[in-house]
Amino acid sequence: MTQHASPPRDSTGKVPSAGAPPVWRGLMARADVRTLSLLGVLAALIVIGGITKPEEFLDTRNLQLVLTQASVIGVVTVGMTFVIISGGIDLSVGAIVALASVWATTVATQEYGFAGILFTAVVVGVGCGLVNGMLIAYGAMVPFIATLAMLASARGLALQITDGKTQIVTIPSVLDLGERDAYVLGIPPLVMVFAVVTVIGWLVLNRTTFGRRTVAVGGNAEAARLAGIDVRRQRLYLYLLSGLCCGIAAFLLIILSGSGQNTNGNLYELDAIAAAIIGGTLLTGGRGTIVGSVLGVLIFTTITNIFALNNLQSDVQQIAKGAIIVAAVLVQRRTASTT
């Protein structure tokens, strides 16, 4: 009897290659080809921007500008990514941002100052998410329908509150957060919030049971239920999370624009879904990454920025945006299938 020393296997059953430190291996496995190809697209855009408008594009102020413009939709997209990974969809995000931003900027709310505005924006966002979640999880409504209904109602309520008027914010402590003086080490506060939301989103998705349950529900809800996951409660929490992100985004938008208007958040649902899809999140659920979605948002914002700097008009911008969505997805698929 000869004894064969079998090499140790990790949980996935693969034999780890000798020499590579485990941390590095983990990173390599995680940074999948999709994410790398997104980084490639972003790098290509940066090269295009740098060649066409070197002075204006490759500038600290422009970096601050692009990241700031990405913050509001970025926070919404993080919430949307969770919902899509779970196999759902949230069409009401733009409307919730609009409702939260106008509710938080009425004359009555502004009397409560900074805290009143922040509190109202977040609570309205969570409240809408709660309604969505209850309808979907316990009312057994299809997410598409429930959130479509929320889209209509929230926009209507926003219009009713504003009466079509622009509500200008007069609280200095809120407005100051959007000024250059508030930048810490050159980083705008809005961008910091975006970064924090992204990191928390990443941790929750990858490092918690909540995140694993989300993926499980999206992958196969029935299997998840049999495995002991309370699928309905999980769905409720996910729409609450999306609502929370909308509330935070509404507060950022109030800081950025210094006002609340019922037209705010126009077509955010499409932008957020597009960013998540480009980022590699499956519309059918079960797969997706926060990093990919955030890269998707950054790609869109960078495109808009490059077009504006080159003084291209909105017709050209829209055509090119559509083309770039298709191109990005095709490139991803190609790279994913060849490796």
Partner 1 sequence: MPEPTDLTSRFTSRRGLLFGTAAVGAGALLTGCTSNEPKDEPAANDQPAAEDKPGKPVTIGFAGPQADHGWLNAINDNAKSRAKKYSDVTLEITEGSNDTAAQIGQIETLINKKVDVLVVLPADGKALTQVGLKAMRANIPVVNLDRIFNTPQAYRCWIGGDNYGMGLNAGHYIGEKLKGKSNATVIELAGLDNLELTQQRTKGFDDALKNYPNIKKVARQAAEFTVESGQAKMAQLLQAQSKFDALWNHDDDQGVGALRAIEQAGRDDFLMVGGAGALSAFQAIKEDDGVLKATVLYPPTMAASAIDLARALGQGKGVSGMAEFEIPASITLYSAVVDKDNVDQYMSTGFK
Among positions 293-322, residues that touch partner 1 (CB under 8 A) are: 304-305, 308-311, 313-315
126, 127, 131, 137: CA torsion to nearest 10:
40
Type of residue found at 93: V
Interacting residue with partner 1 among 264, 281, 289, 332 (CB under 8 A): 264
Residue 205 CB partners (closer than 8 Å, separation 6+): 81, 82, 85, 211, 214, 215, 289, 290
Interface residue with partner 1 among 253, 294, 303, 325 (CB under 8 A) is 253
Rounded to whole angstroms, the Cα distance separating 241 from 204 reads 11
The separation between the first and the last C-alpha atoms of the chain, rounded to the nearest angstrom, is 41
Contact flag: residue 124 with partner 1 (CB under 8 A): yes
3-state helix vs strand vs coil in the chain, percent to 5: 75, 0, 25
* Encoded amino acid at 111, one letter: E
- What token pair was written down for 249? 């985004």
Give the total of residues touching partner 1 (CB under 8 A): 54
Q: Is 123 in the site for partner 1 (CB under 8 A)?
A: yes
The answer to whether 258 contacts partner 1 (rule: CB under 8 A) is: yes
Dist. CA 132–CA 90, nearest whole Å: 9
Rounded CA-CA distance 338/60 in Å is: 37
CB of 73 to partner 1, least distance (A): 10
Q: Which is nearer to partner 1, 71 or 293 (CB)?
A: 71
Q: How far apart are CA 31 and CA 44, in angstroms?
A: 19
Nearer to partner 1, 108 or 326 (CB): 108
Nearest distance from residue 299's CB to partner 1, in Å? 16
Q: Which of 262, 293, 302, 332 binds partner 1 (CB under 8 A)?
A: 262
Q: Measured from the CB of residue 221, what is the shortest distance to partner 1 in angstroms?
A: 28
- Looking at residues 69 to 108 of the shown chain, list those that interact with partner 1 (rule: CB under 8 A): 69, 103-104, 106-108
Six-digit token pair at 160? 């009713």
Asked if 161 is part of the footprint of partner 1 (rule: CB under 8 A), the reply reads yes
Residues whose CB falls within 8 Å of the CB of residue 195, separated by 6 or more in sequence, listed in order: none
- Among 9, 14, 30, 61, contact with partner 1 (rule: CB under 8 A): 61
Residue count of the chain, please give it.
339
- Residue 53 binds to partner 1 (criterion: CB under 8 A): yes
Place of tokens 């480009």: 278
Q: Is 199 in the site for partner 1 (CB under 8 A)?
A: no
Candidate ranges 23-31, 165-173, 226-234, 283-291; the one touching partner 1 (CB under 8 A): 165-173
Nearest residue to 183 (alpha-carbon basis) of 55, 302, 65: 65
Interaction of residue 120 with partner 1, rule CB under 8 A: yes
Nearer Cβ to partner 1 (79/188): 188
52 binds partner 1 (CB under 8 A): no
Based on the shown chain and the rule CB under 8 A, indicate whether residue 30 belongs to the binding site for partner 1: no
Q: By the criterion CB under 8 A, which residues form the site for partner 1?
A: 53, 55-56, 59, 61-62, 65, 68-69, 103-104, 106-109, 112, 116, 119-120, 123-124, 127, 159, 161-168, 178-180, 253, 256-259, 261-266, 304-305, 308-311, 313-315
